[in-house]
Amino acid sequence: MGWFALAMPAHWQQVFAERAAQSPRSVLRVLAAAAVLMSAACCFKADHPSIAVLVWIMLNTGAGIAVTMTLARRPELLRALWPLKVRPRHA
Amino acid sequence: MFANFRQAMTWLHTWFGLVLGFVLMACFFFGSLSVFDREIDRWSLPDTRFDAQPMPSFDRMLAPVFERLEPNPGDMAATARRVTGDLPSPETMSLDSLYAYTTHRDPVLLVGGEFAIPNAPVDPADDHLHVHGWATIDPRTGAKLPDDQLKIGSEFFYPMHYSLHLNWKNLGIWIVGLAAFTMLVALVTGVVMHRKVFKEFFTFRPKKRAQRSALDLHNLTGVVAMPFHLFFAFTGLVIFAGTYYFPVSHTLLEPLHERHEVAEAARTGLPHERAGVAAPLASVDAMVAEAKRRWAARDMAGDVGFLTISHLGDANSYVSIFRAGTDRVALVGEAIYFDASSGDVIREDPPRSTVGAINAFLTGLHLQHFRHWLLRWLYVLGGLLGCVCIATGFMFFVEKRKNKHAATGNIGSRVVDALAVTTVTGMVIAAVAMLAGNRLLPTDLPATGAWEIRIFWCAWLLAMVHATVRSGAVSQARINPAWREQCWAIAGLALAAVALNWITTGDHLIRTVFVDAYWPVAGVDLSLLACAAIAAWAARRLAWHERGAGQMHAARSHRRSRTHMAGG
């Protein structure tokens, strides 16, 4: 969910502030989709499918809320999701 | 009437959401509490604070319990109104069928049965005449729990979320059904009217003005938790559809239903009627052992969740043993049926059809019998997000209109705000006051459950009066101080409930978490403490906002008076 948020230009700017260049949107979207699929795989491995699907949906809901609240209060914490060097806007 | 489709949807969302939002708030809040109804029961009934028990031995423990089971006086009175002639005396009535029910979270066991009566019905179409009896027992000893005690979680909060305790002609169930349907409509119309669903998916701006923040939070909790809201509103309707909303099998299709019952009995080999020939009951424990052996052979968890005996004492009597739904979403199932007098297996439930499996999944996901604590907490999160969504909807409604209403003298915002305070903080006050009252009432007080219910409704009524009396501020485009004051009341009551639990039972958190861990009680205590902390934090934030709004209001009045003087 954090990668999905960072793939949105407004939130990328919010997290990396004024020094940020354009977000690597495609990479972030691929990472986010892969993470969501991997979380589904983990849930289905751990539980009966009927329970796993509910756990997966609700965990994504919780993650969405957690990411939004982090963006609202401490956006800089989400920099941990993109440890690579961010190219300054006018570099 | 409306310029475009979006405006029409906005109207629908706003007004239907407002009117039925108050009901939905109760459904979501008490539904969230119901996720841990058994744990709340343990907190409110200290005598039942022991570990969850499996289904006890029928032959040794339950058979004597059923021999002592008596018809319920209230049910006798209700049945007497449906039959001609006087009912036989309760001592002479014999059980026609019986059941025992437990879950993996229940230390106590629910038992009950139907007592046969010879009377004819007043209404010839009334074909199910029995007097019911039931009891809650300690499965370790067979001792019956007092009837006048209330299981606050499973007998008050849980029915509250689907019936509002308005039982006259099932009025509450119909209102909740309408509210659930409105929830589905509100979700769809909300998506239509929300212009930036994806663009603002992760957006919450707490530092913007209240109207903006409230709308952000409303959109966030509505969109992010939409799968939960959709599923719970829909499955809530599905659960009651056949019984209450579309009871066609007992109205339009009654004759077909009757024939189907007989045909099904012939197909399954489970007798529909008594034979009229007395027969003894074989060892039920042996049948349970055989059922467990068969479940184990199919690699299934083997806890018995539900046990019934039909046509008791008759040659056609049979025993049904259902597996508890601990390891998947569907409820009890995989039943195995035995001939009661010989103990021979009559039938095993075949795998469910596709439609049956979907129905079992939909109802099971709502009723949650599974053993999965993470998912339970995620359900609480979903339910509370629903509450936040509805509460912020109210706040947005008021914030959007209160300045205009203050200027024109319209009381609309004031009324909605007072009702919102009553529904949001007032409902929490009522629930926590009930728990505090449970610990304060003398243990030997007769009908303690009735007193707890009175405390609940009185506390809620007081909260409503308080919210109304203090709502004058909204008429001046300010924040109703009742929000802050009721948050402090919640904090105080929640702390008091935890302290009273400690004082009256000796179960403080150090004991229930570390020394002699008992998570049902510790969980309720910790939730109450979290509730107190959030309420105190909210009260302080509200005080800060009130000061800010007060200063703005004073500045605005000052400016207005200066303009007026300059103009004069």
pLDDT at res. B563: 62
By residue range, what is the domain housing residue B486? 411-553
Nearest to B227 among A48, A55, A57 (CB): A57
User: What radius of gyration do chain A's Cα atoms show?
Assistant: 15
Closest to B422 (Cα-Cα) out of B25, B19, B14: B25
Question: Is B489 in contact with B428 (CB distance < 8 Å)?
Answer: no
A50–B361 CB contact, under 8 Å: yes
B202–A67 CB contact, under 8 Å: yes
Please tell me the number of Cα atoms within 13 Å of B433 on its side-chain side: 21
Average pLDDT over residues B329-342: 87
pLDDT at res. B146: 84
Average pLDDT over residues B27-31: 96
Q: What is the pLDDT of residues B451-510, one digit of tens each?
A: 999 999 999 999 999 999 999 988 888 889 999 999 999 999 999 999 999 999 999 999
B329–A51 CB contact, under 8 Å: yes
Question: Is A18 in contact with A81 (CB distance < 8 Å)?
Answer: no
Instruction: Return the ∠ at Cα B385 (arms to B379 and B389), rounded to 5°.
Output: 145
Tell me, yes or no, whether B519 lies in a domain: yes
A55–B199 CB contact, under 8 Å: no
Structure-model confidence comparison of residues A19 and B371, the more confident one: B371
State yes or no: pLDDT of B300 exceeds 90.
Answer: no
Q: Which chain B residues are within 8 Å of A50, Cβ to Cβ?
A: 328-330, 361, 364-365
Using 50, 70 and 90 to split pLDDT, how confident is the model at B189? very high
Tell me, yes or no, whether B530 lies in a domain: yes
CA distances to A7, B77, B191, B394 from A68, rounded to whole Å, are 14, 56, 19, 21
Secondary structure, 3-state, chain A:
CHHHHHCCHHHHHHHHHHHCCCCCHHHHHHHHHHHHHHHHHHHHHHCCHHHHHHHHHHHHHHHHHHHHHHHHHCHHHHHHHCCCCCCCCCC
Structure-model confidence comparison of residues B389 and A17, the more confident one: B389
Using 50, 70 and 90 to split pLDDT, how confident is the model at B554? low
Average pLDDT over residues B157-172: 94
B108-121 in b/e form (b: 16+ CB < 10 A) is bbbbbbbbbbebee
Q: Which residue of B has its CA nearest to A67?
A: B202
User: What sign does the CA torsion over A67, A72, A74, A75 have?
Assistant: positive
B248: CB partners within 8 A, 6+ apart? none
Q: Give the strand order in the sheet containing B304-310.
A: B130-137, B109-116, B95-101, B304-310, B318-323, B333-339, B345-348
Q: φ and ψ at B262, to 5 degrees?
A: -65, -45
Using 50, 70 and 90 to split pLDDT, how confident is the model at B557? low
Residue keyed to tokens 């467990």 = B292
pLDDT at res. B508: 93
Identity of residue B449: G
Identity of residue B357: A
- Look at B97-111, B238-252, B304-318, B452-466 and tell me which has the smallest mean pLDDT: B238-252
Q: Which residue of A has its CA nearest to B379?
A: A58
CA distances to B130, B278, B419 from B312, rounded to whole Å, are 14, 9, 53
User: What radius of gyration do chain B's Cα atoms show?
Assistant: 27
Q: Which residue of A has its CA nearest to B199?
A: A8
pLDDT at res. B546: 83
The Cα–Cα gap between A51 and B371 comes to 10
Which of B202, B329, B365 is best to mutate for the A interface (most A CBs within 10 A)? B202
Average pLDDT, chain A: 88
Nearest to A65 among B205, B328, B385 (CB): B385
Nearest to B382 among A51, A61, A68 (CB): A61
Structure-model confidence comparison of residues B418 and A24, the more confident one: B418
Q: Where are the domains of chain A?
A: 2-17+24-81
Using 50, 70 and 90 to split pLDDT, how confident is the model at B568? very low
B346 by DSSP, 3-state: which? strand
B378–A64 CB contact, under 8 Å: no
Q: What is the pLDDT of residues B56-100, one digit of tens each?
A: 999 999 999 999 999 999 999 999 998 888 889 888 899 999 999
Nearest to B375 among A54, A65, A68 (CB): A54
Identity of residue B137: I
B339 strand-pairing partners: B318
Contact residues of A toward B, CB < 8 A: 1, 4-5, 8, 10-11, 47-48, 50-51, 54-55, 57-59, 61-62, 64-65, 67-69, 71-73
Q: Which chain A residues are within 8 Å of B227, Cβ to Cβ?
A: 57, 61
State yes or no: pLDDT of A91 exceeds 50.
Answer: no
Size of interface A-B (CB pairs under 8 A): 76
pLDDT at res. B41: 95
pLDDT at res. B119: 86
Q: Which residue of A has its CA nearest to B380?
A: A58
The Cα–Cα gap between B536 and B553 comes to 25
Our count of domains for chain B comes to: 1
State yes or no: pLDDT of B556 exceeds 80.
Answer: no
Q: Which residue of A has its CA nearest to B358?
A: A50
Using 50, 70 and 90 to split pLDDT, how confident is the model at B181? very high
Q: Which chain A residues are within 8 Å of B382, Cβ to Cβ?
A: 58, 61
pLDDT at res. A89: 62
Listed in order, strand segments (DSSP E) in B11-156 are 95-101, 109-116, 130-137
B201: CB partners within 8 A, 6+ apart? A4, A5, A8, A64, B223, B224
The Cα–Cα gap between B123 and B82 comes to 7
CA distances to A74, B200, B224, B247, B279 from A60, rounded to whole Å, are 20, 17, 8, 37, 57
Residue keyed to tokens 């343990």 = B42
pLDDT at res. B565: 58
Output the furthest CA–CA distance in chain B (Å, rounded). 103
The Cα–Cα gap between B357 and B513 comes to 39
